[in-house]
Structure 1
Amino acid sequence: NMADNEINLNTTVILERNSVLKAVKLVANKVIVFEKLRFKPDKAVGCNYGTVFKVTLTPQRSSPWCKRTIANGEMEITDQDLDSLDTNADDAQGKDNRSLVDTHGKSQTIKRENILEMKGEGATGEEIVKCLVENSSSFNEKTSFSQNKYLKKKKKKYLSYIRIQRPNSRLICQLYQEREPAKICNMRMETMSQILTAANIKHGCNVGVVETCSGVVLGSVLEKLGGKGCVVNLHNGESPPNLFAISHFNFPEPDSDKSDNDITMDTVSEQSNGCDKTKGDNDIKVSGKKRRENRLKHQQRAWGVLENKLLDAVVVVCKFHPTPILLCLLDLQLSRPFVVYSEHKEPLMELFVRLSISGSAINLQLTDTLTRQYQVLPERTHPHVMMSSGGGYLLTGLKITNS
């Protein structure tokens, strides 16, 4: 559907600039601040996701407490490819660096004050970069690699191109990984893909989820279900943890209501011990009769899935010890998968031994994924210098009967 690929107001989008991501909600006539750019998103409405926009500065007023001019930008559609910003704008290439002399910054005659003055006059990023190259006494003496590196650095600083992308589990996981990795238990996006694959999450299945990752795992499971199926969100304590990331996925109302399938782990333990499962139903504190009825209906459906052992998969990604959590939820259908993630391998080793002794699972695998990113350029292919050392550990297996 072409309409689903259009950018609309009151929806969350992913902004990308210089490999930096940010999730924002588009509101009419509201200024967005992103990577030192200020602009209104109104002109992006109706365009397709993936469109690249150029933000042109339009100075409006001067701040009394700062010498710099506060400016709002105007968005313009451009055919610029963000991946080609490191191309060389000048054909002049030096052979080597033997003639370069350290001038302690004196090779560049354009100063910061001149650049601020050019910005105040409305100069574009291309004009500023061109001026910097023309006024650099050492640029033409650099090697081609040094020239490209210099141009790439200046273009990323002064060119104001942004791309608006549709939110998905990969981008949202990458966003949290770069900005707040502790909120998703330092999990990388390739680990997330392994979790969804090992748990065999597909359209129409019933999944039990225990997570403390701000809703990233829960939202990824809902995205894979495609609007059909059931997700039982289990949590510790009386109220569910922060699930703010679910709002980034732009789920329709029926799908977002599935997050009401919240059940506490204490109540599940009481049910497994033969206690009354309806104990927590009367303690629901919500405003509005309709909301209360919908929440109760969702919880009753979730209880039915647990009571009748209709779970097709169990996913545990949390900061707590996974052994008591998984043993409490292992009453799923036979030959169904379960996946447990932990930042450390010791808790998973203990769980591995418990499951092996009990004989309630087979095909147990404890894995550690190391993904190394590479820069691939002519004569400059090498691993990235700065990257995370580990992406956590996964324990996967299949449920069987021990009788």
Structure 2
Amino acid sequence: MSTPSIQLGDYIVIQRQKYTKLQKFGSLDTTATLGKETLELKSLLDQPYGSTFKMCVKETKPGKRGAQRQHALELCSETELRSTRELLGISSSGADNRDICDDGEAQALKPSDIEQLREECNGSSKIIEKLVENSKTFHARTEYSQEKYLRKKEKKYFEFVQIRQPTIRLMVDIFYRQDAEKIMGIRVDTLSQIISYSGVCGFGSYLLYESGTNGLLPAAMLNSIGAGTEGTLVHMHPGNVPQKQALLALKLPLEQQQRCVSVNLYSVLREFYQGGESKESDVPPTEPSEVETQEAQPETPTEEQPESIEPSTKKPKLDDNQNGSKGPLRWQLENKKAAALMHAKFDSLVLAAKEHPTNILEALLPLVKPSRPVVVFGTCKELLQETYMELKATGKVTGLHLTSNWLRTYQILPNRTHPEVNMSGNSGYLLTGYTLK
């Protein structure tokens, strides 16, 4: 298959060494900011993903936090990406660093000289070459210490960026590094376990409720279902509109996107239980109180009806239908489509809630077929412990396990393999089990 090319409207991942950033390439005037560097993205159009571009300074503007540099991007070849050590021809090194004193006098160049070099030189290798030439201790350092010095300077003066196509793994790393709370602290290892425990595949229908993960969970589940399959996903959320940034960034085929039905939790449950009796109107119905919900339900509760559902203070989003004529609105059509799948029941349930999960789980469990997996993610173990005891008492779920993940990343280099100095802590808790009839 040919490598896809970058098009307007795409989400792209800009990578500069180890730093990555998710950016929407909305128009030819779009720019991206990397620290003090501003990149013009118009030259990316129609270039293949995975291409590397050189940052060419166009303009330097003074700012409160130092000079702000504006760059144009030029496609570069692999020969320009040779290592700094190879370009500089460094061959000598010291035996150890015992005689090196970090007194701040090792570099003969002053900051003003370095800034002038940066304005005059077109390449980072030339700047680093001058820094090495004017360093009194560089050639006395060990080979490992020299490489560490060069990597530090490359990080500051590196002039190349690579444009990558968004993937689930890349987006998890970016979201988790920028603000882990926006994805409920879900780390990549936790996400992989959620997908694995839920048994998502290309066949069957799956139910997901999440309180807001930037679209990460529905994107990961829909990606696991795959294109050209029969699998469907009902994505329930508590707000007016679902968060779909990660889902849009994947740029899945339209046929695959249409097999994800996003609906408001309380609105679709009302459609499921009262859809045949309620009248459709152009105004979305308000969420009923607990008393109103109980009065609207039949006097004899069925096995599928929850005893209590937390009311929502939000209304479904007002949205016009596609043809502009009078008729069901889009959110109503989505509710009907989801309700039909709910009557047929689901092959697994995934729940990632910022709220207490017990009541939501109680409302959704009857919609899952027997002997199917249930996965509940939470950031607070006490809430999941209470849910664990509730499920134990009701006997609706068996094989219950409450676990937490601990991940340690390692630097893998010749003779220098060791754990990373900075590591993330806990990444939430998982409650898993299987439904009983």
Give the TM-score of the pair, scaled to structure 1: 0.88
Separation of aligned partners in 1, 2:96 and 2:120:
37
Kindly report which structure 2 residues correspond to 1:188-207, keeping only aligned pairs within 5 A, or say none. Answer: 188-207=187-206
Q: 2:349 aligns with which of 302, 307, 314?
A: 314
Partner of 1:234: 236
RMSD: 2.8
Post-superposition offset of 1:260: 5.0
Post-superposition offset of 1:32: 2.4
| Residue 375 in structure 1 maps to residue 411 in structure 2 | yes
Post-superposition offset of 1:230: 2.3
Post-superposition offset of 1:65: 8.1
SS class of match (2:323): helix
SS class of match (1:297): helix
| Residue 353 in structure 1 maps to residue 386 in structure 2 | no
Amino acid at match of 1:336: R
Partner of 2:72: 73
Partner of 1:164: 163
Question: Which region of structure 1 is more displaced relative to structure 2, 354-363 or 29-38?
Answer: 29-38
Partner of 2:249: 248
Amino acid at match of 1:361: V
265 and 281 in structure 1: CA distance in 2 versus 1, 3 angstrom threshold: same
Partner of 1:300: 336
Percent of aligned pairs with the same amino acid:
27
Partner of 1:96: 96
Post-superposition offset of 1:53: 2.4
Contact 2:202 2:224 (8 Å CA) reproduced: yes
SS class of match (2:71): strand
Partner of 2:9: 10
Contact 2:261 2:338 (8 Å CA) reproduced: no
Separation of aligned partners in 1, 2:361 and 2:55:
50
Post-superposition offset of 1:12: 0.7
CA offsets, 1:5-63, max 9 Å, x none? 32223211111123222111223243322343333333333333223322222x33655
Partner of 1:225: 225
46 and 266 in structure 1: CA distance in 2 versus 1, 3 angstrom threshold: closer
CA offsets, 1:133-159, max 9 Å, x none? 110001112222221111111011111
Partner of 2:52: 52
Post-superposition offset of 1:101: 2.8
Separation of aligned partners in 2, 1:319 and 1:6:
38
Partner of 2:365: 330
| Residue 262 in structure 1 maps to residue 297 in structure 2 | no
Contact 1:13 1:166 (8 Å CA) reproduced: yes
Question: Which region of structure 1 is more displaced relative to structure 2, 153-162 or 61-70?
Answer: 61-70
Contact 1:201 1:225 (8 Å CA) reproduced: yes
Post-superposition offset of 1:242: 3.6
Contact 1:39 1:75 (8 Å CA) reproduced: no
Partner of 2:309: none
Separation of aligned partners in 1, 2:279 and 2:361:
21
Contact 1:267 1:280 (8 Å CA) reproduced: no
Question: Which region of structure 1 is more displaced relative to structure 2, 140-149 or 177-186?
Answer: 140-149
Amino acid at match of 2:262: N
Separation of aligned partners in 2, 1:375 and 1:8:
35
Give unpaired runs (5+ residues) of structure 2.
Answer: 285-317
SS class of match (1:131): helix
280 and 374 in structure 1: CA distance in 2 versus 1, 3 angstrom threshold: farther
Partner of 2:296: none
SS class of match (1:335): coil
Post-superposition offset of 1:256: 4.0
Post-superposition offset of 1:244: 3.2
